[in-house]
Structure 1
Amino acid sequence: MDEVTLARALAAAREAAAAAGEIIRHYWQRGVTIELKDDQTPVTIADREAELAIRAILQQALPEAGIYGEEFGRSGDERGGLWLIDPLDGTKSFVRRTPFFSTQIALQLDGELVLGVSSAPVYGETMWASQGQGAWLDGQPVRVASTDEVTAASISTGNIKSLALGPKWPRLGQLVADCNRIRGYGDFCHYHLLARGSLDLVIESDVSILDVAALSVIVSEAGGVFTDLDGGQLNLDSRSVLAGTPALHAKALRRLHG
């Protein structure tokens, strides 16, 4: 994909996220009926309408790309790439009136994530990035911190249930004991904080690629390192995250694997 097409795709993703944000804010103010999917996770009309709005904009801007969305699955011709969409990541927060939810849109080309938009319409910020163009928060460039020692690090954990049941749990405990402070911001929030230098390391063991694809591009373009917990590159089957400043990512990876 050439630079012009990539720029057009990023503009479309930002437009789609903004359109989804209008829908989400409407239902945030009005209230919604909650349904349960087969996996017992909640879904609302806001999720579905937001995804339909996103799909319409992205299909018009880049008809040669397929779409993989949280609510309506995978469709379209993928020869020109694959859009990865979570229209309302954090539906549990949304229905409990907690503003830690967002719209996540990423584009994958030949297995590589090349752009991402993360919009948190009620929290009030949008981040975006594309390959080689840096990461941005509401139009201002952002960069990860230079923190390189665990004793100075701020660490945030998100969904870590499966990690708690495995051999890495005591190793995570020692990492927490050695760090400067531990937080649990979760969802988009700790990745935004990481990308803008307000946090140093994020650990999650139970995510979907749709939750984190866009955020991985943003953190990487901000100078961070974003992999799964084994240090592998993200793919459609990825379920875990280790993201941080380059030095702390390397140290945490070694420590979590003994």
Structure 2
Amino acid sequence: MNDQRWDAALKAARDAAEAAADIIRHYWHRGVDVEIKSDATPVTIADREAEQAIRAILASALPDAAIYGEEFGLDGDRDGLLWLVDPLDGTKSFVRRTPFFSTQIALMHRGELVLGVSSAPIYGEIMWASAGGGTWFNGERVKVASTTEMAQASISTGNIKTLTCDARWEALGAMIRDSNRIRGYGDFCHYHLLARGGLDLVIESDVNILDIAALAVIVREAGGVFTDLEGKPLNLDTRSVLAGTAAIHAQALQRLGSSGGH
């Protein structure tokens, strides 16, 4: 794809996120009924209507791209251009009136993530990034922190249930003891903080690619490193995250890896 087409794709993703934001705000103020899906996770009319609005905008802007969404699955061939969409990541927060939820839209080209938009409308943040284009936070270009020593590092955890049963759990505890501080911001929030220099390492063991694809581009373009817990690049089957400044990510990967893995 040429640069003009990438620019058009990024604009479409931002427009789609804004359309989803309008729907989410409407139902946030009005309230919604909650259904439980077959995987025991909640879904609402806000999730479904937001994804439908996103799909319409993305399909119009890039008709040859497939779309893989949280609520309506895969439409098209996932091996070429592929949009990855979670219209309302954090539905559990949404239904409990907690503003830690977001819309996640990313574009993958032949297996490589090339752009991402992360919009948290109630929280008041939107971030976007594209390959080679840097990372932008509410319209301002941002970068990760310059932290190089674990003793100065701020660490945030998200979904880590699986990690608690893992051989790396003790290594994580030791790393937390050696760090400056530990928080559990979770969801989009700690990735936004990482990309704009507010913390230095994010660890999650239980995620879905739709939750993190856009955030991976955002962190990388801000100068950070974003892999799974084994240090591998992301793909559609990725289930864990280790993201941070280059130096802190490398130290964390070494410490977790030396603990023996799973």
TM-score grouping bracket, smaller chain normalisation: over 0.9
Superposed CA offset, 1:4-62 (max 9, x none): 00000000000000000000000000000000000110000000000000000000000
Once the two structures are overlaid, the 10-residue window that deviates more, 78-87 or 235-244, is: 78-87
Once the two structures are overlaid, the 10-residue window that deviates more, 78-87 or 91-100, is: 78-87
The answer to whether the Cα contact below 8 Å between 2:79 and 2:111 also exists between their aligned partners in 1 is: no
Instruction: Report the equivalent of 1:202.
Output: 202
Query: Do structure 1's residue 146 and structure 2's residue 166 form an aligned pair?
Result: no
Runs of 4+ in 1 over 6 A off after TM superposition: none
Q: Following the alignment from structure 2 to structure 1, what is the Cα–Cα distance between the partners of residues 158 and 224?
A: 18
**May I ask how many residue pairs the two structures share in their alignment?**
258
Q: Secondary structure at the match of 2:147?
A: coil
Q: Following the alignment from structure 2 to structure 1, what is the Cα–Cα distance between the partners of residues 80 and 13?
A: 15
Q: Following the alignment from structure 2 to structure 1, what is the Cα–Cα distance between the partners of residues 73 and 237?
A: 14
Q: Percent identity?
A: 71
Instruction: Report the equivalent of 1:186.
Output: 186
Q: Following the alignment from structure 2 to structure 1, what is the Cα–Cα distance between the partners of residues 229 and 128?
A: 24
Shift of 1:177: 0.6
Query: Do structure 1's residue 19 and structure 2's residue 25 form an aligned pair?
Result: no
Q: Secondary structure at the match of 2:127?
A: strand
Give the 5 Å matches for 1:97-136. 97-136=97-136
Amino acid at match of 2:219: V
Q: Following the alignment from structure 1 to structure 2, what is the Cα–Cα distance between the partners of residues 6 and 14?
A: 12
TM-score, normalization by structure 2? 0.98
Structure 2 gaps, min length 5:
none
TM-score, normalization by structure 1? 0.99
Amino acid at match of 1:143: K
Instruction: Report the equivalent of 2:54.
Output: 54
Structure 1 gaps, min length 5:
none
Q: Secondary structure at the match of 2:247?
A: helix
Give the 5 Å matches for 1:1-258. 1-78=1-78, 80-258=80-258
Q: Following the alignment from structure 1 to structure 2, what is the Cα–Cα distance between the partners of residues 2 and 172?
A: 43
The answer to whether the Cα contact below 8 Å between 1:216 and 1:226 also exists between their aligned partners in 2 is: yes
